[in-house]
Structure 1
């Protein structure tokens, strides 16, 4: 086994998620509604049951989740996990590293989204949400995002378009850094890189492939948007 990790296929990020089991102000038990600007996200449900609420171009949907269910959705889909009991999930995330670099935007009310400083303050967690951080801070930001999500659903497509515009404007200053991250991350792990090499008659890179394994998560219980995260290394 190699001691140095290559990116997972396609630059996919993997984490294990135990969805929050407390209720938001609307009485729904679960996580924080948010959107990704560049990343498709997928769930493989490993235990418990619940649902994922989504709001996008197809309107509002609630997809049931139980052990064995696989669900995924593209960038721009607002999503919120609902925990009906012991919901645990393996999360597959496109473009490993980008969500951690700000690709995710929470559904805070418009006045918060319009003010980068206010957004940063509302989204902040003590010690970045490291294991052992006060979970009440995660509930606080979830509850604010739930209020914004309720307004989005009430406002329909017009409100969703306004939210997308605000989210894109909020994250525009990060695009240069995202582009710098892309070549060494997801792009390097994409099939196109191998196709380009083979088209040039290059094949020696095939001899450098390795087998990689980890015994378990490198971190357990990080505060995430939807629950407690056990994280795995993507590359090294």
Structure 2
């Protein structure tokens, strides 16, 4: 994936996440439960404490989050970050560019999980096109409502509700799939192919790619956005647009 600066290793995406401290109806604090359909995600906990509530085909699980913990999960895992006290995370996302292109569907109640209704319900911009904490909290609360029902149905032995959510999520993202394929080809697949070319060259005694090495730095991104789980400072948009320094 081309840009002003090189891809991150393996064409991953990096963000600094401060999980929302906002209270919820179920007496917790945190972000919007959601599922990624293509990308695995990793949390590297760097401060505070909290929990990760998950639901996938194996059932419901709660994983503690403490500084130094590394927790990761594959596509098809509904996850909810709960903030028990200033939870700070570095998020590593597979397939840089896909999460920003909609590779996540929040667990709204079923009536909102249609291609027609979902985009407006998930939007975080107000009528003037500005990021709105009010809208972010509203969509978070709706996602918690839907997640609470999904987990309730699972505990009752009803697996169909989870499968219905997966089916609806797949239908919502269907129009974007061709663009996602291009992103993977230009990003993660290209990075893997480059590594294979380097291995092949080294096997033939050619080490010339080592003379193309560079060091790139990105300072803390100045812009903070309203993510699904919390306040985000995303590094990849900075990488794509510039704003880093390359040292000789």
Give the TM-score normalised by structure 2: 0.85
Shift of 1:204: 4.0
User: Match for residue 138 of structure 2?
Assistant: 140
- 2:229 aligns with 226
Partners of 1:218 and 1:233 within 8 A in 2: no
Paired residues of 2:115 and 2:171 also in contact (CA < 8 A): no
Deviation at 1:58, TM superposition (A): 2.1
Q: How does 1:81-230 map to 2 (within 5 A)?
A: 81-113=81-113, 115-126=114-125, 133-156=131-154, 157-190=159-192, 192-196=193-197, 198-199=199-200, 204-219=208-223, 221-230=224-233
How many pairs were matched up?
Answer: 229
Tell me the CA shift for residue 117 of structure 1: 2.1
Q: State the secondary structure of the residue aligned to 1:168.
A: helix
Deviation at 1:196, TM superposition (A): 4.3
Q: TM-score when scaled to structure 1?
A: 0.89
Q: How far apart are 1:116 and its partner, in Å? A: 1.3
Deviation for aligned residue 1:218? 4.5
For 1:90, what is the secondary structure of its paired residue?
A: strand
Aligned partners of 2:56 and 2:76 also within 8 Å: yes
> Counterpart of 1:95 in 2: which secondary structure?
coil
Provide Cα deviations, 1:160-207, integer angstroms capped at 9, x if missing partner. Answer: 1111111111111111111122222222223x4321454375754443
Q: Name which one, 1 or 2, has greater alpha-carbon Rg.
A: 2
2:16 match: 16
Q: How does 1:3-82 map to 2 (within 5 A)?
A: 4-82=4-82
Deviations 1:114-140 (A, max 9, x none): x21210110001179x9x732111100
Distance change (3 Å), C-alpha of 1:167 and 1:60: same
Structure 1 unaligned spans of 5+: none
Instruction: Name the SS of the counterpart of 2:236 in structure 1.
Output: coil
Q: Give the 3 Å change call, closer, same or farther, for CA 155–194 of structure 1 in structure 2.
A: same
